[in-house]
Chains A and B, each alone.
Chain A
Amino acid sequence: MAQRRERIDRGIKVRSDDVFALTSWREMAYLAAPRVFPVLALFILVLVASVYWERVLVTTCMFALLAMSWDILASAGMVSLGQSLFFGIGAYIAGTLNYYLGISPWLTIPIATIGGGLVSTLVLLPVLRLRGIYFAMVTMILPLMIERIVEATKIFGGTEGISGIKTLGSVHIEFVVAAVVVWTALFGFRRMMSTDYGLLLKGINDNDRAVMSAGMNIYYYKAQALFMASSVGAFAGAFMTHAYQFVGMPVFALDYSIIPIASVAVGGAGTLAGPMLGSFILVPLSELLRGLGGLRVVIYAVILVVCTVGLPEGVFHYLSRKYNQFERWVKVER
């Protein structure tokens, strides 16, 4: 007698799937728990954390935003190997506005978010038609190129960068802003992805020509997805510039491209919550490994490879399957 594993949705999931069927507190709690628990957990974490770890949490939130930005792009069929492009453009816009014009961080960050999104979208518009690996290669090369150009032309402080940029105030204020933005982005974009508009973006990823034949202008939608994703990335860059009080060539460094991709690989692509979970696993881990110096990147790269090969679905998919379904062995006739 051969066996196979069967997965069936739990009864409570089936009953609470349809919003009109909510009949009990238990079902509502079942639905709300995975959404409320992380929010509360982050809040409690910050209450018990030292100032140093609070900073780490702020950084983690920013990497979570970068990873989400990667995921939005990937859901619309654009794989980016250079998130640092968005991060760096946002960082430079915010940094230069604050340093040369003395504009307050509360203004530079929104300006850099929208401006960074616009600049990145305009830069990538000519290559929106490229697919798969070709688009990925362009995004990989652009940050490298901008870095070299800054180095060669010595604009905005060249290799030295600009230091002495104003902060938002205390680390508590930074944390509140970061947490509000990260949860807004997560729930907002998840909601967006479940609407028809999100379905269209996913369709572009699955089969772009089918979407075209349905009479949609996919370049228009791709540009929109690119703008949303790059704005999120630019926000992270602008925010970190004010947190570090510095902007320079390191904002185009590999870290800002690799860590988001690693987070997505660990967390699970296509869910937005997965990438966030991935960042909350990886970034604190990298803080713990800080003593190892250069070995950190090696460990990161190994995690990335192992997750890509060994657990392609990611942690989040695995968890949500366990939460929503039960498994059992059933006998099959040979």
Chain B
Amino acid sequence: MLQGTLIYGFINSVILMLVALGFSVTFGISGVANFAYGALYVMAGYLTWLGLHSLGLPFWLAAPGAVAITAGVAAMIYWFILLRVRGLVVSEVIATFGVGLAILELFRYLGFIGFEYTLPPLIDASVMIGDTYVDAQRLCIVGAGIVLAAFLWFFTHYTKTGLAFRGIAQDERTSLTLGINADKVAAWSVAFGAGYAALAALVILPLGTIAVNEGYNVLVNALAVCIVGGLGSTVGIIVASFLIGFAQILTATYLETSWMMIVSLVAILAILVIKPSGLFGHQKQLEERI
């Protein structure tokens, strides 16, 4: 029982981390609000499904295609919408949230609801760890989480583009003087984050069905992890996803599953009240509160 809780808590934490990584690239690291994130995540799932079932493509073609299209759509969102309201944080949030809402509700309207909307698992098998059954898909998730988190850390610390991502969040004007094209970098970071969201969707969605409401949950969870972990910190993302992930599994085990969402919401609220920039965040104090 305890061992199972630990293993599933670990897997749940990795799922949260995967979901939050892409959001963190755009919102946490580059400071660009992309509240259409959940919609893009769900869209990647549906696009892959359409590729597999409507066009009859093999998985190795449909999946990268879906990732590329999702990233492209995100770049479009930046170029045609976010660019016009850049700097007005509230308008950014409202506009992107509106786009996300439109995408999600369009899928709902087109009738993408039901149990047939599932993605195939990468490996269909299960493994015994100690005395708990774990299916191979969940192990793939853990693998993907480790690879993507490590890549993100290296990318934002040792590549020019990644450093530019962090630069525009810290001080856009200074980054302009250093020859960083802030608009291009912001567009890249939105696309990059959406690509991460699509990859996360590809490995996580096979566990259940692709549902429209998942988009809203993903957004809330990603927000929770980013805010608790701290803006601009990859390590914070990892720590926060483990905190929230284990807390969720414990509530699901000892209370009810309906309390799971409440845990992440309470976590966000508590952190926002106490330290808005999060546990490991190092943003400017005066921008968040007075």
Contact = CB atoms under 8 A, between A and B. Distances in A.
10 contacts: A132-B89, A133-B89, A138-B269, A141-B268, A294-B108, A301-B102, A305-B98, A308-B91, A308-B98, A312-B91
Interface string A124-147: 001101111110111001101100
B266 interface: yes
A144 B265 contact: yes
Interface stretch (A148-156, A184-192, A244-252): A148-156
A138 B90 contact: no
A265 to B, nearest CB: 7
A234 to B, nearest CB: 21
Which of A133, A144, A209, A302 lies at the interface centre, i.e. has the most chain B CB atoms within 10 A of its CB? Answer: A133
A312 B91 CA distance: 9
A214 interface: no
Given A131-B289, A137-B268, A152-B258, A309 B84 contact: yes
A81 B289 contact: no
Contact of A304 (B33, B90, B98, B261): B98
A295 B106 CA distance: 7
Given A138-B269, A218-B290, A302 B262 contact: no
Contacts of A295: 105-106, 109
Given A141-B269, A142-B269, A152-B256, 11 more contacts: A81-B97, A131-B288, A131-B290, A133-B89, A148-B261, A297-B101, A297-B105, A301-B101, A301-B102, A305-B99, A309-B84
B259 interface: yes
A293 interface: yes
Contact of A298 (B80, B90, B106): B106
Contacts of A134: 272, 276, 288-289
Nearest to B106: A298
Contact of A137 (B84, B98, B101, B227): B227
Q: Give the interface centre of A134, A138, A302 by most chain B CB atoms within 10 Å.
A: A134
Interface in A273-304: 293-295, 297-298, 300-302, 304
B223 interface: yes
B93 interface: yes
Nearest to B33: A133
A305 B84 contact: no
B290 A208 contact: yes
A126 B94 contact: no
B47 interface: no
